[in-house]
């Protein structure tokens, strides 16, 4: 667990020691530049009690601002100790994630007698922007984007008073001295900004709002036409939109919200939480038409609270960009880039130092699982099992993040996005400079993906530092192992859509027996071909056709206009890259089951296939034969036969998922490693994760899944940072030549 805030030098460590000992828990606590780090071990009820009392009984001067908790495997501590401080990351003290508005500030915001009544930039030492206003350390007002706002007399008094809630609150402000709000285009009717925005939303307009980590695009979530227009203008045809609900009660009207999910919604990170929608009508169907979830967040800044007061209904709140470019943070940039998308701009004059999208989390195995790590989480460090060299890890290509390793801590950047556009690549380069400057970090080594064409790899190859190129799927499992603090041997299951394999083929259905830097590829899916390459990634029916062709030649390929072209490609082996990807197998099964013929956004077909199971309980399973080479042939035969017989897509989907789970358990038994690690984009699938974890645990294995770091490519940088220590660096080697951890 990492605790940040006023937790150092206030008797916190002795308090933790007493509390843990009293509850009969073992483990340790230490001070690090980033805050307090502690591990407590014991029976789960006692751990819950510890967490509750940690907050309730902490020393009077202690304030916990940010807390991240992970559940780790048992380490077998024999007592509780206060350990020596981590010298690493000394400089990061005070670099905190952005914190949602606290109850005291919210009360002031709503109190007509308070001088901050209705003021959109209210904050205090317990809440407000941090990472997104910081442009240097130490964390003092002159090093934030608030430096241009001189404190008025009243604010200066609060700032200097140790008894005040705003004592040394760097971003503090009030209507007299702080940032102000306005709407563009101007009108002369004198309507207050937030009322005008609420009216525009009600009229079906699209509004760009400058938030904490950049611009958001808003539309009324009940208005099908407005949502459709936003989709068209943003070039986002089907990918689900996130919603902001005015309150937890309202979220409960439209979704099933468990107590743990409610706690996530109301946490200081205030992320988007993926929730199961209830049957209550009222949300436009095109908000998330092809997803089993609704992504929901609550207002997290005073500006959002005030807007929700004027417009107390669910709104679509999506990132302020066109397609997948990085979000706009600057007023002038927003005017230019969002021109033609937004009808109205809600602007302010507090600059945003760096962009941070809204984070996305989900509950998996009863725990928080971060799918997109950005506002509210970045840049809290992840503590890893071993001391690392000074590595800069540049991540993969999609959902890119970067990371720097200092000692035993890895700071992961906020989500940077897909590196497809020049804007995204520029943001990637900016983020590298930014993170290194903020932490005064000098990399000795750069870790990148083995894929020679990734923009991140190319940057690494040209930066002039020694480079270690690491295999994508090994980085996936290394990332999960690191955040779960695993030592010793483990079976790593890395399943995703695409990653560059060591043999030059497209991997994605891999099993590794791993120990330290040694990764032995012990199993993979039987290779198949992707006719048309990229086109087959978008169009799953092509993959289905390719698998059927393997089974029965051209005659087995279903009737389609493109059938003869496809058959020719397969016959002559033209533009048919070979893959072992489980993600692509999902696409093929979705196509054969009649669930989805293509992916309009990454992972769509797999998501739809998972959603079809929808509560169906079945232990039936398709044959997926072979262990070391998982043979999909009998499985595909069975899917085709079932689909032909009119078996429900729900049952087809369940049998398919169960077959994958069986394969994992068989492999775990075969290699007999007691620890199993599940990573890669396929493990964003709740059914697959929950089922696989339950089956493995029932068979006596310890199972590790992602918690603080995404299972998708957003987690690759952490794996690279950890693996670089075992690599043999190369400078100026041709891409593709191995310079990497040992492999057998």
What is the binding site for Zn ion (CB under 5 A)? 102, 105, 124, 126-127, 152, 155, 174, 176-177, 496, 499, 713
To Zn ion, the closest distance from the beta carbon of 191 in angstroms equals: 25
Q: Which is nearer to Zn ion, 407 or 501 (CB)?
A: 501
Within 8 A by CB and 6+ apart from 148, the residues are: none
Q: Tell me whether residue 40 or residue 155 sits nearer to Zn ion (CB atom).
A: 155
94/499 with CB nearer Zn ion: 499
CB-wise, 611 or 679, nearer to Zn ion? Answer: 679
Q: Is the peptide bond before 379 cis (omega within 30 degrees of 0)?
A: yes
Q: Which pair of structure tokens corresponds to residue 82? A: 């206060």
Please give the structure tokens belonging to residue 261.
Answer: 């999910």
* Residue placing its CB nearer to Zn ion in the complex, 142 or 552: 142
Q: What is the DSSP string of 585-618?
A: HHHHHHHHTTS-S--SSTTHHHHHHHHHHTT---
Between residues 79 and 160, which has the closer beta carbon with respect to Zn ion? 160
Q: Where are the alpha helices (DSSP H) in 25-182?
A: 44-56, 103-109, 153-160
* Least distance CB 708 / Zn ion (angstroms): 18
Q: Which two tokens stand for residue 303?
A: 């500006």
Contact (CB, 8 A) for 564 and 558: no
Closest CA to 143 of 134, 151, 152: 134
**H or E element in which residue 461 lies:** helix 455-462
> Buried (b) or exposed (e) across 311-322, using 16+ Cβ within 10 A?
bebbbbbbbbbb
Element (H, E) at 630: strand 629-630
Q: Match 């001070």 to its residue by tokens.
A: 31
In the bound complex, what is the minimum distance in angstroms from residue 469's beta carbon to Zn ion?
15
Q: What are the CA-CA distances from residue 282 to residues 250, 313, 698 (Å)? A: 11, 10, 42
Q: What angle do CA 123, 124, 130 make, to 5 degrees?
A: 75
Min dist CB 123 to Zn ion, Å, is 5
Can you tell me whether residue 197 is helix, strand or coil?
helix
Q: Which is nearer to Zn ion, 283 or 475 (CB)?
A: 475
Task: Tell the smallest beta-carbon distance from residue 713 to Zn ion (Å).
Answer: 5
Packing angle between helix 563-572 and helix 540-552, nearest 10 degrees?
A: 60
Q: How far apart are CA 724 and CA 445, in angstroms?
A: 8
Residue (40 or 664) nearer to Zn ion, CB:
664
Nearest approach, Cβ of residue 643 and Zn ion (Å): 29
Give 206 or 606: the residue with its C-beta nearer to Zn ion.
Answer: 606
- Which of 620, 603, 615 has its CA nearest to residue 658? 620
Helices marked H in 523-648: 534-538, 540-552, 563-572, 582-592, 604-613, 633-645
How far apart, in whole angstroms, are the C-alpha atoms of residue 491 and residue 476?
A: 12
CB of 232 to Zn ion, least distance (A): 30
Q: Reduce the DSSP state of residue 403 to 3 states and report it.
A: strand
Taking the complex as a whole, the smallest distance from the CB of residue 603 to Zn ion amounts, in Å, to 11
Give every CB contact of residue 569 below 8 A, 6+ residues apart in sequence. Answer: 531, 532, 575, 576
Tell me the closest approach of the beta carbon of residue 127 to Zn ion, in angstroms. 4
Residues 318, 241: contact at Cβ < 8 Å?
A: yes
Smallest gap from Cβ 479 to Zn ion, in A, equals 10
Q: Of 107, 123, 138, 112, which is closest to residue 179 (Cα–Cα)?
A: 123
Of the pair 25, 678, the CB lying nearest Zn ion is at 678
Shortest Cβ 178–Zn ion spacing (Å): 6
Residue closer to Zn ion by CB (options 102, 530) is: 102
Of 138, 679, 143, 720, nearest to 412 (Cα)?
A: 720
- Cα–Cα distances (Å) from 455 to 79, 227, 426, 452, 498, in that order, read 48, 33, 11, 8, 16
Residue number with CB closer to Zn ion (105 or 445): 105
CB of 685 to Zn ion, least distance (A): 14
* 484 or 581: CB nearest Zn ion: 581
Residue 523 or 652: which CB sits closer to Zn ion? 523
**Least Å from the CB of residue 149 to Zn ion:** 8
Name which of 152 and 735 has its Cβ closer to Zn ion: 152
Environment class of residue 574 by beta-carbon count within 10 Å: exposed (0-12), middle (13-18) or buried (19+)? exposed
CB of 119 to Zn ion, least distance (A): 9
d(CA 97, CA 161): 24
Residues shown for the chain: 744
Phi, psi of 144 (to 5 degrees): -120, 170
Distance CA 187, CA 205 (A): 16
- Residue 224 CB, nearest approach to Zn ion (Å): 35
């Amino acid at each position: 667990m990492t605790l940040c805030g006023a937790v150092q030098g206030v008797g916190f460590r002795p308090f933790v020691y007493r509390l843990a000992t009293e509850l009969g828990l073992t483990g340790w606590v230490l001070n690090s530049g980033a805050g307090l780090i502690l591990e407590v071990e014991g029976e789960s009820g006692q751990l819950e009690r510890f967490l509750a009392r940690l907050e309730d009984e902490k020393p009077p001067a202690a304030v916990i601002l940010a807390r991240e908790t992970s559940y780790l495997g048992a380490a077998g501590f024999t007592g509780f100790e206060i350990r020596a401080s981590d010298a690493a990351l000394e400089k990061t003290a005070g670099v905190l994630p952005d914190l949602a508005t606290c109850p005291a500030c919210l009360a002031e915001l709503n109190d007509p007698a308070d001088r901050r009544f209705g003021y959109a930039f209210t904050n205090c030492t317990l809440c407000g922007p941090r990472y997104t206003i910081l442009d240097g350390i130490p964390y003092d007002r002159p090093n934030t984007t608030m430096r241009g706002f001189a404190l008025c007399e009243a604010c200066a008094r609060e700032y200097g008073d140790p008894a005040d809630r705003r004592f040394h609150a760097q971003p503090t402000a009030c209507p007299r001295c702080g940032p102000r709000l306005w709407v563009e285009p101007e009108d002369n009717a004198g309507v207050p900004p937030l009322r005008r925005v609420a009216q525009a939303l009600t009229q079906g307009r699209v509004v760009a709002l400058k938030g904490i980590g950049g611009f958001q695009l808003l539309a009324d979530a009940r208005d099908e036409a407005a949502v459709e227009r936003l989709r068209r203008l943003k070039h986002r045809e089907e990918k689900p939109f996130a919603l902001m609900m005015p309150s937890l009660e309202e979220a409960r009207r439209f979704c099933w919200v468990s107590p743990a999910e409610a706690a996530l919604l109301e946490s200081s990170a205030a992320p988007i939480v993926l929730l199961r929608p209830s049957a209550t009508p009222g949300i436009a169907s095109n908000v998330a038409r092809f997803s089993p979830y609704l992504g929901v967040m609550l207002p997290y800044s005073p500006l959002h609270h005030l807007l929700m007061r004027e417009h107390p209904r669910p709104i679509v709140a999506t990132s302020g960009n066109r397609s997948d470019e990085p979000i706009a943070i600057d007023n002038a940039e927003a005017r230019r880039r969002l021109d033609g998308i937004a009808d109205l701009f809600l602007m302010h004059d507090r600059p945003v130092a760096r962009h941070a999208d809204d984070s996305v989390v989900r509950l998996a195995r009863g725990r928080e699982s971060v799918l997109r790590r950005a506002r509210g989480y970045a840049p809290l460090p992840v503590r890893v099992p071993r001391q690392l060299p000074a590595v800069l890890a540049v991540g993969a290509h999609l959902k890119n993040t970067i990371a720097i390793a200092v000692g035993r801590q890895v700071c992961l950047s906020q989500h940077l996005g897909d590196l497809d556009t020049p804007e995204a690549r520029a943001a990637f380069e900016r983020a590298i400079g930014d993170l290194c400057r903020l932490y005064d970090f000098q990399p000795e080594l750069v870790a990148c993906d083995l894929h020679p064409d990734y923009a991140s790899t190319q940057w690494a190859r040209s930066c002039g530092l020694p480079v270690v190129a690491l295999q994508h799927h090994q980085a996936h499992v290394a990332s999960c192992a690191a955040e779960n603090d695993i030592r010793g041997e483990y079976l790593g299951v890395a399943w995703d859509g695409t990653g560059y394999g060591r043999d030059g083929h497209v991997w994605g259905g891999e099993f590794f027996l791993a120990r330290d830097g040694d990764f032995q590829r012990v199993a993979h899916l039987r290779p198949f071909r992707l006719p048309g390459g990229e086109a087959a990634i978008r169009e799953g029916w092509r993959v289905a056709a390719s698998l059927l062709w393997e089974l029965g030649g051209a005659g087995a390929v279903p009737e389609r206009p493109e059938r003869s072209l496809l058959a020719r490609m397969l016959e002559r082996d033209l533009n048919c890259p070979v893959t072992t990807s489980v993600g692509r197998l999902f696409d093929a099964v979705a196509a054969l089951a009649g669930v989805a013929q293509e992916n309009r956004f990454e992972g769509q077909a797999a998501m739809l296939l998972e959603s079809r199971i929808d509560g169906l309980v079945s232990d039936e399973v398709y044959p997926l034969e072979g262990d070391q080479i998982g043979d999909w042939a009998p499985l595909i035969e069975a899917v085709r036969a079932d689909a032909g017989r009119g078996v429900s897509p729900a049952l087809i989907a369940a049998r398919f998922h169960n077959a994958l789970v069986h394969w994992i358990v068989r492999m775990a038994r075969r290699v007999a490693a007691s620890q199993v690690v599940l990573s890669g984009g396929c493990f964003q699938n709740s059914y697959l994760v929950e089922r696989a974890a339950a089956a493995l645990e029932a068979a006596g294995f310890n199972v590790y899944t992602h918690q603080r770091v995404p299972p998708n490519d957003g987690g690759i940088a952490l794996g690279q940072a950890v693996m670089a220590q075992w690599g043999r660096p190369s400078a100026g080697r041709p891409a593709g030549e191995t310079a990497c951890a040992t492999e057998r």
